[in-house]
Homo-oligomer: A and B are copies of this chain.
């Protein structure tokens, strides 16, 4: 039988909701913080044995139904010609800053060459736990990656919308070439062991609705249709526009915590949903975490639901609450 997470994403009958957490391999785990004293973030993601060790930390602690490779939504930037570094307090910064429409790349370097460390990581994970849990690959989406290319710092989703207003053709070309590279990267991950892939176009909800439909939707459709494994699509702040995400035809939509998950089920029809507990709820007491998690599971209903947070786990989250969250799903039995 297929793995639980894959079946749930496909909307097949399942006994209980599978569970994993976005950013589960991260700062809330003490061993992660220890490893990161030795390796920078980029060193860690580019060194398969280190990335494997980090990926498996939440597996060892919580045994989730999905293990998400420890990597970065931005890895595709390098094959596109935009090397980057991580600057403290700012986040990712492009080494050679984008200089306007003439800097839109025509093409990108071979994914298998540039992102070989991602393939190597997935092969190691497949050997280590590939039979026991689902391996989840991912990439940033075109709008989100374009935002990082255009500008640094917290105003980047403002800057990219300004670029859209000033240079609509260059904006469209930039998104287009990124989409091709993202599609190749996701298929490469699937070829190397990923069971499911998630497309994080986190910032795309910042676009006006007509702009999402004009510029992004065709690219999201192309990516969802172009890969040989189930695709989960995550965009923040799309409550009220779930119909547009449905038109991208992903296997599942990952919902942030500002969406009522029962309403989302009604709007999305046969498309599965993932989510959507507020990550900040994991700072409440354990009984609160269990009760709120149960409520999400009940509101989502049986089949077609992957339990997750509405965004990534925060750094200081108490591990016992992450455990309570995972256990709530693992102990659940759908009534039939």
Residue ranges of A at the interface with B (Cβ–Cβ < 8 Å): 154, 158, 161-162, 164-166, 205-211, 237-242, 257-260, 263, 278, 280-285, 288, 310, 314
Using CB atoms, name the residue of chain B closest to A296.
B208
Using CB atoms, name the residue of chain B closest to A267.
B240
Pair A278/B161 contact, Cβ less than 8 Å: yes
Identify which of B165, B209, B237 contacts A281 (C-beta below 8 A). B165
Pair B240/A162 contact, Cβ less than 8 Å: no
Using CB atoms, name the residue of chain B closest to A289.
B165
- Chain B residue numbers with a CB within 8 Å of A206 are 258
Using A154-B154, A288-B165, A314-B158 as known contacts, say yes or no to A258 and B237 having CB atoms under 8 A apart.
yes
Using CB atoms, name the residue of chain B closest to A89.
B89
C-alpha spacing A282/B161, complex, angstroms: 10
Pair B165/A283 contact, Cβ less than 8 Å: yes
Could you give 25 example pairs across A and B, Cβ below 8 Å? A154-B154, A158-B314, A161-B278, A161-B280, A165-B281, A165-B282, A165-B283, A165-B288, A166-B283, A206-B258, A207-B258, A208-B257, A208-B258, A208-B278, A208-B310, A209-B258, A209-B260, A210-B260, A211-B278, A237-B237, A237-B239, A239-B239, A239-B241, A240-B240, A240-B259
A258 to chain B minimum Cβ distance, whole angstroms, is 6
Pair A162/B239 contact, Cβ less than 8 Å: no
Q: Besides the contacts A161-B280, A165-B281, A237-B258, what 5 more A-B pairs have beta carbons closer than 8 Å?
A: A158-B280, A165-B278, A165-B283, A208-B257, A240-B242
- Chain B residue numbers with a CB within 8 Å of A284 are 165-166
C-alpha spacing A114/B166, complex, angstroms: 44
C-alpha spacing A8/B208, complex, angstroms: 24
A123 to chain B minimum Cβ distance, whole angstroms, is 36
C-alpha spacing A242/B210, complex, angstroms: 19
Most chain B CB inside 10 Å of its own CB: which residue of A154, A161, A207, A288: A161
C-alpha spacing A211/B208, complex, angstroms: 26
C-alpha spacing A259/B281, complex, angstroms: 27
A46 to chain B minimum Cβ distance, whole angstroms, is 28
C-alpha spacing A19/B164, complex, angstroms: 24
- Chain B residue numbers with a CB within 8 Å of A283 are 162, 165-166
- Which 6 pairs, one residue from A and one from B, show the smallest C-beta to C-beta distance? A240-B240, A239-B240, A165-B284, A161-B280, A162-B280, A209-B260
A156 to chain B minimum Cβ distance, whole angstroms, is 12
C-alpha spacing A185/B164, complex, angstroms: 39
Using CB atoms, name the residue of chain B closest to A236.
B237
Pair B288/A205 contact, Cβ less than 8 Å: no
A245 to chain B minimum Cβ distance, whole angstroms, is 12
Using CB atoms, name the residue of chain B closest to A276.
B208
Using A209-B259, A258-B237 as known contacts, say yes or no to A164 and B242 having CB atoms under 8 A apart.
no
C-alpha spacing A169/B260, complex, angstroms: 23
